[in-house]
Structure 1
């Protein structure tokens, strides 16, 4: 009898719903489509077993429901499913509350929100069917064909395929893992944009960090970082705007570019930089600067443009510098139009009006090559129109010139100079290093000079030298200088010259990194917990006795 009454009551309810549908097509009213049992209760109707309801184009399924007809709301229990008949959106949960007036579903416990290839998992989801937006508040996970993203809070705008993640965001991809606190992910075409601090680690262990956000195309594997750093086992690249194409292993940086070659201990700075990782080839231009690190010293070099090439073959490792070249080292300064630095033999070749200064000596020629061994100057080769000028203790200019020269250094100072071809020398003879007696001027095919403390100590000439002594009283501007003499010490670059060209901004290697923040929060025990633990260990508090 009871079952017959229930079936009669349920049929009557469906008839009532059908009549209301005829009278109010397209309304936001929640409709009961079917249920095994429908019972009346105080203020609501109970739907039990295989429940199906409808709200416009949304079908709602569950094991049982409480339907509040007056307010057009329902509470849904067990195996809740909400299916959109127009959009490919499907939602499931253990429990939900549905407001038909505003088309809002509040789903709780084991929530699964599916839109084609994208699935959202959470325990607390509000789904605004009117705006087609889903919100979660206490941890969620989004999975698609490429990525897995998790965060504390999120918003899924289904119509435009955009998901916004907030707080403790983690993106896991087959090739990398990324952490940030603010990320916008487009499910089509699978791009991710972050704001603020962003840290990424690739499966190879390379890191990509950005202080001011980033943009990723996860399918093309192209990344754009703002105030970003990319670090590998052999290199580190930084820029205010840094682009990286993982497929091409190509980097491009703009503003405050820094490229560090860890193996060569060479760091390059500039306004714009490009780096091809597989070729180990980089191009940097715009007030470019090089720092070559030695154990006890650092070599600085400026130029308009720089090209660096590393290679498995030693002879193919080099650094090219073009225009406005300046060199500064503790025992060396120089300038030229262009330069080649060969890594394999630590040689520096300078071209087009090069000039170098060492202590009180000035060296110039059409081209020159310096060799550095054990971090100090070892020798220099000067080719065509070679000219050396040194100052003695009373600032006279001792001069040597020739077609070619080979100079040798000891403890960073010129120790010996060999002139080969059309040799000429003019050096002043001093008495007690304080009074000039005159100058020796000599022509010889070859000349060998020995130096001590930067001053000429001994001169050996080749066969049949032609020389003469010029007394002090007969010296004038013409005979006290060899042809081609040009003292350019005021052009000598120093560290002030380097920093006027570019002052390097050092990277903060201790900057905040989200991978370094412990995932487990350490909670201090309460006083009650401490007291209970002490009791377990046999401790009893002393009772205070008052007389």
Structure 2
């Protein structure tokens, strides 16, 4: 029979194939032509109804054995022998068995099989289909219509399947469905390797598992281990979680995944809204642990975190952030961010733990520390080790060993050697105490009030304070000093039960003393100017000099008068219920007495000056901190003196200048006005008491006065340099 006649017969036998070649010609004419061609062929009439004996079958490795058939026909042609097999057909080639209802063995060891086709290889791969074409030399098959491929680990359904028995690789170019244990996979095309049990899917891949669903462009799946390998954009999801990546794998039996390339993860379990990203995401479902490695980013409703690596333990609710993590609040009312070298989070206690170079920033406030424990529930934290807190809006800094603060209330408590630093009138002021508290003012959250408790010390170039506790109101710029306060202002000492200092435009404006007020001033530790009363209020001018002083209830004053050459003339001792003193150039110019005064004026050498010390007098110079280096506990810098910078008027030698600084002046020497707050000359007025004695101090040698002035100038320069 001619080869073309054979193929025409094949198309008649298979209606599905025959339909592909339909023409407008009626079927009955087509069949007539077919049988006419068959009858005209000279050899077709020589048919055999019995299968060939074994001697008729080729004896080589590619031979195809006929194990069973009900009917057999064959015909020799120039192209080779055509064998028609009918009924319970069973063929075999090496380890491969084939069954069908009917078929042909064509020349060159080709087989076509139809209806109820089965192929079995190694008792492990079994394929079912409606039709099959098999090349026995290449050991390659094409199966069509209702194809089912089964092996020990999965079942594949498709309408077109090509299977290579040598490589044991099946290719399905059209839609396919694979069922493996509890997993179902659908794709438009793919391959399956029976040696490795790995199926490759591409184009609209869908995977369904009781634990998850998967959508991908390309996917490899091991049907034995149920491991999925992601070869392109892939999304795995269930009701609680969503995972996306473009590379990686997932082991459904172990519930373990490693995701690469634009990997991110969303967790919606128990109402959460968590998103995690990283160069690599590792998920261990059995342990409920996530690792985000490389450019890690985690976000929830409250905050987001950036780090090199993030570890999340779902069972213990423990999180670890490694490699310079940065935390940012997602609260619209809280723009806080936190940086650190390493951080951990305890989901049970809602506590964040930061370690190494911690930086907390919020609005105009910045805090640095070695470590920080922060509660996300109470929005409060404890910083430990080298704590430095800065408020740039208030030009304020607090350093300490440990601090507690609250985000919501902006409350800060510092202890373990806290030190406050601020800038007032372009001059630094330091404050030290056992405990410092900074809190926003109730009327203006942008303004901070300050509390200091126990062993309070303040140092500024022209102001020093000691007290037990302090309150500072930033709106009114008022300091309140409590419990044995001592205030030094440019050499004047103020004491009282309570001292209040008000600043105006960053300058000293008013000092108020309440209960047991006492002001002392001296040029040397021998003659003391004193003002005493129940309360006293001192006003300062814009330059920071005393302008006036009001003394209330039981006012007393002792002050030393100088002549125009700054020589002591006499001492005044005055008592009055209330009085007001007016100053110019730090000297008393006028006194108004509100009540009847009692006054005594003594010549300098006719009085025991110790007897002039008022009741409650204390000279606390030994408690005063003189320089910022002494306050901060650091060595003062060495100042080198350039001899060329000494003016001709400073004719003293260097040794003489040093001697004048380190040698105390005795009471007989004339003092220079630059070393003290000058006392006022006696005002001749009806309100002032008469002078009982006015014997002046003997005049001193003018050269000695000049030398004393030079020494005083040098001493003042040294003091200013130290401050």
Distance 2:397 2:408 in 1: 18
Structure 1: runs of 5 or more not aligned: 19-28, 502-547
SS at match of 2:618: coil
1:336 Cα deviation after fit: 0.3
The match for 1:160 is: 287
1:47 Cα deviation after fit: 5.0
The match for 2:515 is: 384
RMSD: 3.8
- 1:514-525 equivalent positions in 2, closer than 5 A: none
Distance 2:630 2:455 in 1: 12
- 1:392-541 equivalent positions in 2, closer than 5 A: 392=523, 396-410=527-541, 411-476=543-608, 478-493=610-625, 494-496=627-629, 498-500=631-633
Among 113, 124, 131, which residue is 1:16 paired with? 124
- 1:172-191 equivalent positions in 2, closer than 5 A: 172-186=299-313
1:432 Cα deviation after fit: 4.7
Tell me, yes or no, if the aligned pair for 2:425 and 2:507 is still in contact at 8 Å.
Answer: no
Alignment deviations for residues 345-364 of structure 1 (CA, whole Å, 9 cap, x no partner): 21111111100111111111
- Specify whether residues 318 and 14 from structure 1 end up closer, same or farther in structure 2 by C-alpha distance, changes over 3 A only: same
Alignment deviations for residues 358-416 of structure 1 (CA, whole Å, 9 cap, x no partner): 11111111111111111111111112221111123897322222222111112223232
Tell me how many residue pairs correspond in the alignment: 488
SS at match of 2:554: strand
Among 332, 339, 342, which residue is 1:213 paired with? 342
SS at match of 1:353: coil
- Specify whether residues 98 and 116 from structure 1 end up closer, same or farther in structure 2 by C-alpha distance, changes over 3 A only: same
Alignment deviations for residues 71-115 of structure 1 (CA, whole Å, 9 cap, x no partner): 444434444455556xx2444433333457876542211212336
Distance 1:447 1:6 in 2: 129
Q: Which moved more, 1:412-421 or 1:310-319?
A: 310-319
Distance 2:538 2:388 in 1: 35
The match for 2:169 is: 45
Alignment TM-score, normalising by the size of structure 2? 0.59
The question of 1:364 aligning with 2:495 is answered yes
- Specify whether residues 105 and 7 from structure 1 end up closer, same or farther in structure 2 by C-alpha distance, changes over 3 A only: farther
- Specify whether residues 129 and 173 from structure 1 end up closer, same or farther in structure 2 by C-alpha distance, changes over 3 A only: closer
The question of 1:113 aligning with 2:236 is answered yes
1:186 Cα deviation after fit: 4.1
1:131 Cα deviation after fit: 5.3
SS at match of 1:479: helix
- 1:65-214 equivalent positions in 2, closer than 5 A: 65-80=190-205, 88-98=211-221, 104-114=227-237, 116-128=239-251, 132-145=255-268, 146-186=273-313, 192-199=319-326, 200=328, 202=330, 204=332, 206-214=335-343
- Specify whether residues 278 and 143 from structure 1 end up closer, same or farther in structure 2 by C-alpha distance, changes over 3 A only: closer
Q: Which moved more, 1:103-112 or 1:431-440?
A: 431-440
1:45 Cα deviation after fit: 2.7
The match for 2:361 is: 231
Distance 1:111 1:385 in 2: 82
The match for 1:518 is: none
Structure number with larger C-alpha Rg:
2
1:11 Cα deviation after fit: 5.9
- Specify whether residues 172 and 150 from structure 1 end up closer, same or farther in structure 2 by C-alpha distance, changes over 3 A only: same
- Specify whether residues 112 and 218 from structure 1 end up closer, same or farther in structure 2 by C-alpha distance, changes over 3 A only: farther
Distance 1:118 1:364 in 2: 70
Tell me, yes or no, if the aligned pair for 2:336 and 2:363 is still in contact at 8 Å.
Answer: no
Distance 1:263 1:312 in 2: 17
Distance 1:114 1:347 in 2: 62
Alignment deviations for residues 225-281 of structure 1 (CA, whole Å, 9 cap, x no partner): 444444344644554434555564544433344455566554444333333444444
The match for 2:419 is: 289
Alignment deviations for residues 506-530 of structure 1 (CA, whole Å, 9 cap, x no partner): xxxxxxxxxxxxxxxxxxxxxxxxx
The match for 1:344 is: 475
Structure 2: runs of 5 or more not aligned: 1-9, 17-99, 101-112, 127-150, 635-723
The match for 2:22 is: none
Tell me, yes or no, if the aligned pair for 2:170 and 2:193 is still in contact at 8 Å.
Answer: no
1:159 Cα deviation after fit: 1.7
Distance 1:6 1:429 in 2: 135
The match for 2:436 is: 306
Distance 1:190 1:72 in 2: 38
